[in-house]
Chain A
């Protein structure tokens, strides 16, 4: 493992920690709002009928988060959390290509493609 390799690994570690911290804070903010605004009994979660998040566009989630809607804020935090490992893999692609390690540029690019495939599956 060379010094450049190690720097790439440390950069990956940093991205993960920052991403998780920001995502957790956004989810926490949404959670506090949710608790403050909540009223009535607990909804029945014992039957599956799909979360409303599935029907939303990313744009409307961000718009809702900016208007401090509790669920949109939580959803926004979850999207940030999911984006974190994707950015980590992206850094792997770019970093490996800068190190001219074409084998691992390809390997990371394949992983990145699989991650994107996950977001293009229909119901």
Chain B
């Protein structure tokens, strides 16, 4: 295989990963890292470096549209970014301290959880407006457009949500992924925010979270330009196409297929980690 076909194969794979990642809401990073490691025999550090670059691109590229729609809550996002960036800094720092095999095993766990979460979405309980002093003092409230009127909401369980966000940031820094699934968990399940607000605000935060790891990744040499290039361009193109198709698409079958693929990748990552092959 020469350089042209190698780069092209990685780019094509990244387009598919970005497309499926946007359709299922899991993001492209969670697929591209195991595929680079297992299929293209790329070292884990280079794989997470290339993935992190693509994560910054897709999140920033999509955020503009979400901000315009009025669903994402920039204030809640900025507040929780304190937790995710600190977590990401710690996570990125830990990459050099933890062996690649352990990172692979953790990656497997995250993949299996993502597969489970993408199929098994708990319908959020009816939201109520609470006079939550901490949230009100921090102005963690807002409204979103709903059938022509405005639905109000206030964040609940702020310290717990902040804690889960720190974990989300650490996973992002350690694994080179956006960890959108954990961010949505923190807002939707812990802080009782509306689902649509949680997913769009999560996307808004992913780019800044990943940027907190980027400096560490750059200085430690995890980002290889010629490898990051096809991954970034491919995932970006795929996710832009995916988010266009998303409107009104029937994704149930696709969701199942994707869940099975990432579960299989998760098992393979764990197996490779446990047998010290990463």
Asked, given contacts A31-B229, A45-B42, A82-B211, whether A53 binds B86 with beta carbons under 8 Å apart, the answer is no
B contact set with A: CB distance below 8 Å: 1-4, 6-7, 40-46, 49, 53, 56-57, 60-61, 63-68, 70, 74-75, 78-79, 81-82, 85-86, 89, 92-93, 100, 138-139, 142-143, 207-208, 210-216, 218-230, 232-233, 236
A5–B67 alpha-carbon span in the complex (Å): 11
**Pair A46/B42 contact, Cβ less than 8 Å:** yes
**Pair A13/B1 contact, Cβ less than 8 Å:** no
Q: For B150, give the chain A residue with the smallest CB separation.
A: A1
Q: List 5 A-B contacts (CB under 8 A).
A: A17-B64, A20-B57, A30-B229, A74-B229, A114-B89
Within 8 A of B (CB), among A27-59: 27-28, 30-31, 34-35, 38-42, 45-55
**Pair B225/A38 contact, Cβ less than 8 Å:** no
List A contacts of B82 (CB < 8 A): 107, 110-111, 114
Give me 15 other A-B pairs in contact (C-beta within 8 A), A48-B46, A89-B81, A121-B216 excluded. Answer: A6-B70, A13-B65, A16-B63, A31-B230, A31-B233, A34-B226, A35-B3, A53-B224, A70-B226, A85-B211, A110-B82, A114-B85, A115-B215, A117-B215, A121-B93
Chain A contact residue count (CB 8 A cutoff):
65
**Pair B223/A34 contact, Cβ less than 8 Å:** no
Asked, given contacts A20-B57, A54-B221, whether A27 binds B64 with beta carbons under 8 Å apart, the answer is no
Give 6 closest A-B pairs by Cβ, nearest first: A50-B221, A118-B215, A54-B221, A13-B64, A119-B215, A13-B67
**Distance of B264 from chain A, by nearest CB (Å):** 22
**Pair B229/A34 contact, Cβ less than 8 Å:** yes
Per-position binary interface string of chain A over residues 59-84, scored 1 when its CB falls under 8 Å from any chain B CB and 0 otherwise = 00000000000110011001001101
**Pair B215/A111 contact, Cβ less than 8 Å:** no
**Pair A14/B64 contact, Cβ less than 8 Å:** yes
List A contacts of B226 (CB < 8 A): 34, 70-71, 74
Instruction: Identify A38's interface contact among B4, B49, B142, CB under 8 A.
Output: B4
List A contacts of B227 (CB < 8 A): 45
A47–B46 alpha-carbon span in the complex (Å): 9
Q: For B52, give the chain A residue with the smallest CB separation.
A: A82
Asked, given contacts A104-B78, A118-B89, A118-B212, whether A48 binds B45 with beta carbons under 8 Å apart, the answer is yes
Per-position binary interface string of chain A over residues 94-123, scored 1 when its CB falls under 8 Å from any chain B CB and 0 otherwise = 000000000110011011001101111111
